[in-house]
Amino acid sequence: MARTRAIDFEEKQRSLLSSAAAVFAEMGMEKASMAHIASRSNVSKALLYHYYPSKDALIFDIIRNHLEELEAAVAAADEPDATPQERLRLLVRQVLENYRDADNEHKVQLNGTSALSTEQLDELRAIERRIVKRFSNTIIEINPDLNANKPLLMPVTMSLFGMMNWVYMWFRPGGPVSRDEYADIATTLILEGVKAVR
């Protein structure tokens, strides 16, 4: 007879994912073991395997949850009635806010996809494409001529994501620039730079 799901299943699952992300971020995908993750999570290996049969399953769920939360937050922050410039500023701020306290999950996303199946990668890329599309739709409103002579919308959009995705490498709370201030800097670089792109 199959085990029934505990009332606090989702809470425990979220805690396991958080602990696993920390282990993967510190040790790397190859060196981290299910035993390390169970120990960090203060659970038995048997309980960990009840939730996740493998490291790959953990990696996939860490990335999927991270992306789904980001997609929901960005959708909630979008203001269709605002100017495209202000919409972009709000979207960038929301991404950087969503990245707060998510460095471990972000590192797993950047470094863990080689362990995943084609089907898993397709699911994650579909979420990523929806997020990117929200930004590219806003950027093309700012400069409708971006794709006039050659396809430049995607390079410009991905340049913005490059600025946002690597902020965890250097940003420190309490430093000379706040998270919102950096969001404004990144947005201004795109807003001013996109005017000159032909």
Note the pLDDT tens digit of each residue in 171-187: 888 889 999 999 999 99
Q: In this predicted model, which residue has the larger pLDDT, 40 or 12? A: 40
Angle 61-98-53 (CA atoms, 0-180°, nearest 5)? 10
- Taking residues 133-142, report their average pLDDT: 94
pLDDT of res. 2: 44
pTM for the predicted model, two decimal places:
0.87
Summarised one tens digit per residue, pLDDT across range 65-101 is 999 999 999 999 999 899 999 999 999 999 999 999 8
- Under the banding of pLDDT at 50, 70 and 90, the label for residue 8 is confident
- Taking residues 1-30, report their average pLDDT: 80
pLDDT of res. 6: 56
Residue 4, pLDDT above cutoff 70:
no
Residue 5, pLDDT above cutoff 70:
no
Q: CB of 139 within 8 A of CB of 146?
A: yes
Q: How far is CA 95 from CA 23, 24, 80, in A?
A: 24, 22, 17
Structure tokens at 188: 């201004």
Structure tokens at 132: 């990117």
Taking the chain, what is the end-to-end CA distance rounded to the nearest angstrom? 65
Q: Quick one: which of 59, 55, 35, 30 has its CA closest to 45?
A: 35
3-state helix, strand, coil in the chain (%, to 5): 70, 0, 30
Q: How far apart are CA 13 and CA 6, in angstroms?
A: 11
Summarised one tens digit per residue, pLDDT across range 161-174 is 999 988 888 888 88
pLDDT of res. 173: 86
pLDDT of res. 7: 55
- Taking residues 116-135, report their average pLDDT: 96
Q: How far is CA 175 from CA 96, 161, 166, in A?
A: 15, 22, 16
Q: How far apart are CA 1 and CA 186, in angstroms?
A: 55
5-9, 139-143, 191-195: least confident range: 5-9
Q: Quick one: which of 139, 163, 164 has its CA closest to 153?
A: 139
pLDDT of res. 1: 40
* Percent with pLDDT over 70 in the chain: 95
